[in-house]
Amino acid sequence: MKNLLILGAGTAGTIMANKLHHRLDTTDWQITIVDRSALHYYQPGFLFIPFGLYQPEQVVRRKSDFLPAGARFVIGEIDRIDPENNQVVLTSGQCLPYDDLIIATGADIHPEETDGLKGSLWRKSVFDFYTFDGAVALANVLKDWPGGRLVVNISEMPIKCPVAPLEFLLLADDFFTRRGIRDRVELHFVTPLSGAFTRPKASERFGGLLTAKGIRVTPDFSIARVDEAEKAIVAWDDQSVPFDLLVTIPTNKGDAAIERSGLGDELSFVPTDKHTLRSSRYPNIFAIGDATNVPASKAGSVAHFESEVLVENILSAIAGQPLAAQFDGHANCFIESGHGKGLLIDFNYEAEPVTGTFPLPNVGPFSLLKETRLNHFGKLAFRYAYWNLLLPGHVMPLVGSHMSLAGKDLS
């Protein structure tokens, strides 16, 4: 019996377990999935919790409910990967052998990387929403917050879901408007990027949207520390932005086990071929999702599209054949803009987010880079699709792993 070992039972790891369960001969292969937690979180839902749009219980399920029957699920902490001996060592001392390994350990926030960020103001005047606990804590503050200067700051790139900070600001504009205190709230986006987003055309569109809603943007701000006494974030060039409430997107890093194993870059992301998703160093190790260093968005849609490619390449590797399937960096994301509307972007390594229709050319029904009510409903519908189609590894209708240029204005 050969062993396929998957590290991480989040979005990417669960999808891969389900897809490979249907494609591998399970009389020859044992699929084992390792994760430190028994609970699966719908991370896109964290964005909605601070504004009371989702309740905490709506984003939590048991991981075992979504893993294939016959697969082995091990709950444990990974100490290190030992690629020379084709095994993974858990902190309990248990050793798990593998013939092929998939690293899907994701990414997490590290507020301790910024001086003063996780100091005396943490979870008092400084909050995150990229964790379940952070989103719930922020919801408890925002419901009665009287107003003031609310600053949203990205510490450094890359981060999970690069559009989420923008969505937070746009939903905050909606939230405080509904509370009747928008005129008492100053919303301020402070980013290390030169604009509102990572891609120029989309950045221009989003920047205009923020300006139209009275949201200030400070670009090219590289945070050095939090001045707790003055309640301000301070850049390396000594530029300072005061806050009454700071919503931080701290440094994102890969799993600590990647660093302990000597398999990561400076942020503990796994060096990975951006097209085949094979490790740059070991031919029987593959990586997917937020755990990789590929220059694509760290988002659930990317993990979904990568999985289509990675399944084919793992099957090819097992058969001793060249890895023919190629990932093109496809990313697709609905973006909440508040007041019952949303946008949609679709892009890849080479193509910018552009206007047009999706998924059908000239039909849609969704519009790209345009605020519509239908895009808002698409965002809300994704939670159902996530639990019932995406995680079980089913085919998502009309949404392929490679970006289609049909229906898009490329001029």
CA 278 to chain centre: 20
CATH 3.50.50.60 holds for 2-106+255-318: yes
Question: Could you read off the pLDDT of 40-63 as tens digits, one per residue?
Answer: 999 999 999 999 999 999 999 999
pLDDT band of 398, cuts 50, 70, 90: confident
pLDDT band of 105, cuts 50, 70, 90: very high
Inter-residue contact 42 to 390 (CB < 8 Å): no
pLDDT band of 89, cuts 50, 70, 90: very high
Compute how many other C-beta atoms are within 10 angstroms of the C-beta atom of residue 127. 22
In this prediction, residue 80 carries a pLDDT of 98
CATH number of 110-251: 3.50.50.60
Range with the poorest average pLDDT among 13-17, 129-133, 394-398: 394-398
Instruction: Give dist(CA 51, CA 188) in Å, integer.
Output: 17
Inter-residue contact 126 to 149 (CB < 8 Å): no
Compute how many other C-beta atoms are within 10 angstroms of the C-beta atom of residue 363. 10
In this prediction, residue 255 carries a pLDDT of 98
Q: pTM score, two decimals?
A: 0.96
Question: Could you read off the pLDDT of 327-370 as tens digits, one per residue?
Answer: 999 999 999 999 999 999 999 999 999 899 999 998 889 999 99
Inter-residue contact 204 to 195 (CB < 8 Å): yes
Inform me whether the pLDDT recorded for 293 exceeds 90. yes
Instruction: Give dist(CA 216, CA 62) in Å, integer.
Output: 40
In this prediction, residue 396 carries a pLDDT of 85
Question: Which residue spans of the chain are classified as CATH 3.50.50.60?
Answer: 2-106+255-318, 110-251
Percent of the chain residues past pLDDT 90, beyond the cut? 91
In this prediction, residue 39 carries a pLDDT of 98
DSSP 351: P
Question: Could you read off the pLDDT of 265-277 as tens digits, one per residue?
Answer: 999 999 999 999 9
Inform me whether the pLDDT recorded for 411 exceeds 80. no
User: What is the mean predicted confidence (pLDDT) over 374-380?
Assistant: 96
Percent of the chain residues past pLDDT 70, beyond the cut? 100
Instruction: Give me the residue label for tokens 């994760």.
Output: 35
E-strand stretches of 174-266: 185-190, 216-218, 223-227, 232-235, 240-242, 245-249, 252-254
User: What is the mean predicted confidence (pLDDT) over 86-101?
Assistant: 98
Inter-residue contact 196 to 210 (CB < 8 Å): yes
DSSP 399: -
> Bridge-partner residues for 368, per DSSP?
356
Question: Could you read off the pLDDT of 142-193 as tens digits, one per residue?
Answer: 999 999 999 999 999 999 999 999 999 999 999 999 999 999 999 999 999 9
Inter-residue contact 223 to 143 (CB < 8 Å): no
In this prediction, residue 124 carries a pLDDT of 97
Distances (CA, A) of 266 to 154, 251, 259, 262, 269: 18, 12, 8, 10, 8
Inform me whether the pLDDT recorded for 17 exceeds 90. yes
- Residue 359: is the preceding peptide bond cis (ω within 30°)? yes
Inform me whether the pLDDT recorded for 315 exceeds 90. yes
Q: At what angle do helices 300-318 and 11-23 cross, to 10 degrees?
A: 40
- Beta strand 331-338 pairing with 223-227: unpaired
